[in-house]
Amino acid sequence: MSSDLEKKLAGLQEQFSYAAHVKFFMKDELIGIHVDNAMASASILLQGAQLIQFTPNNKPRLVWHSSAVTYKKGKPLRGGIPVCWPWFGPLSSNNKNIQALCPDDAPPAHGFARNQDWQLESIQNLTTGATKLRFSLSDNETTRRYFLRKFCLQLEFTIGTELYVSLHIQNKDEDVLYCSGALHTYFAIYDINKTRVYGLDGLSYVDSTAEGKVLQQQGPVEINSETDRIYFVEGKNSLADNDCSEQHIKCTDRKIKIRSRGSSSVVVWNPWIEKSRALSTFNDDEYLEMLCIETAKAHTDYVQLAPGATHIVSVSLGYQ
Ligand code: TA6
């Protein structure tokens, strides 16, 4: 454990000594916070403000991560809810306005937000028994290498019987900010061969495994090969209560409800057999127990923010 990390850990423990049901931890090169309250448990790393597990009390783990993950500074972790920002996927597959904001010739896949240390701003023990945490990331010397805009990201988690996550993206620059991204949630499922995703029937999707061909979903989504799709849910960009997109994952003994707001695109990903073998920090057979359903602003559903404006993307997930 390096002395800088020890000092940072001790500083956080002192700063947040008032908060109940939380404990800071160190895992290899990373610091995280573990929440264990009357409703659920969760673990969130400062790097990427990345939640790596969420388990409602007396229920199976809901948000999954690979048992092969390593906890190395600046290296993305495969699992939990990585925050993909300021672009989704390879920069080259994004709108030209987003590409124009990145001067670097080696842009990281899914942007830099998940590789940066975020600031833990606040912890609240709510009267409901849930725990609310807020993290922030603002532009800095490193981000300016990859992105020519001033910004402030705020990421809020409410750890209760359900998990609520909201990402606030604020343009702090004098020029328009273009970006894309996703809350790239990895769900723990019982068996991919017995899993169906409902709520996408009839929607168009871009099939990333078929050179971006646009197809239409017929019935529930079944996974029986590498699946990497961006579905488009029309007009779900406001935060109005009734204006959310909802999907369900059904798998033998489990039914998971996903409700997203401020997002008109949903990514469905499972690497299946061959890709699992090629992926780093991912075991060959782990495709059987995970499925990504991602609340996104991806492809043509990207964000255009006037100076000072904010866009909010949120998702709530839980067992039905
Ligand atoms: O969300 C689907 C996807 O874009 C896949 O194409 C695959 O690359 C996955 O994300 C994982 O990305 P990562 O950069 O974490 O390996």
How many other CB atoms sit within 10 Å of the CB of residue 22?
A: 21
* 254-287 b/e (C-beta count within 10 Å ≥ 16 → b): bebebbbbbbbbbbbbbbbeebbeebebbeeebb
Q: Which atom of ligand 1 is nearest to the CA of 280?
A: 16
pLDDT in tens, 116-149: 999 999 999 999 999 999 999 999 999 999 999 9
pLDDT mean over 271-286: 97
Percentage of the residues of the chain whose pLDDT score is greater than 90: 94
- The whole-number pLDDT of residue 240 equals 55
pLDDT in tens, 157-175: 999 999 999 999 999 999 9
Above 80 in pLDDT, residue 300?
Answer: yes
Q: How many angstroms is it from 37 CA to the middle of ligand 1?
A: 32
- The whole-number pLDDT of residue 249 equals 98
Above 90 in pLDDT, residue 260?
Answer: yes
Above 90 in pLDDT, residue 184?
Answer: yes
Beta carbons of 129 and 160 less than 8 angstroms apart: yes
pLDDT band at 206 (very low <50, low <70, confident <90, very high): very high
- The whole-number pLDDT of residue 1 equals 59
pTM of the model: 0.96
Q: Which atom of ligand 1 is nearest to the CA of 267?
A: 1
pLDDT mean over 25-50: 98
List all residues whose CB is within 6 A of at least one atom of ligand 1.
Answer: 76, 78, 89, 109-110, 184, 208, 228, 267, 269, 292, 294
Is residue 122 within a helix (H) or strand (E), and if so which, with residue range? strand 119-125
Above 60 in pLDDT, residue 281?
Answer: yes
pLDDT mean over 203-222: 97
Q: Cα–chain-centroid distance for residue 216? A: 25
- The whole-number pLDDT of residue 253 equals 80
Identify the residue whose C-alpha is closest to ligand 1 atom 11: 78
pLDDT mean over 295-304: 97
Candidates 183, 228, 268: which one to mutate for ligand 1, based on the most atoms within 8 Å of Cβ?
A: 228
Q: How many angstroms is it from 299 CA to the middle of ligand 1?
A: 14
Q: How many angstroms is it from 16 CA to the middle of ligand 1?
A: 34
Candidates 186, 269, 290: which one to mutate for ligand 1, based on the most atoms within 8 Å of Cβ?
A: 269
pLDDT in tens, 241-256: 556 799 999 998 899 9
Identify the residue whose C-alpha is closest to ligand 1 atom 10: 89
Percentage of the residues of the chain whose pLDDT score is greater than 70: 97
Secondary structure string (H, E, C) spanning 134-160 = EEEEECCHHHHHHCCCCEEEEEEEEEC
Q: How many angstroms is it from 273 CA to the middle of ligand 1?
A: 15
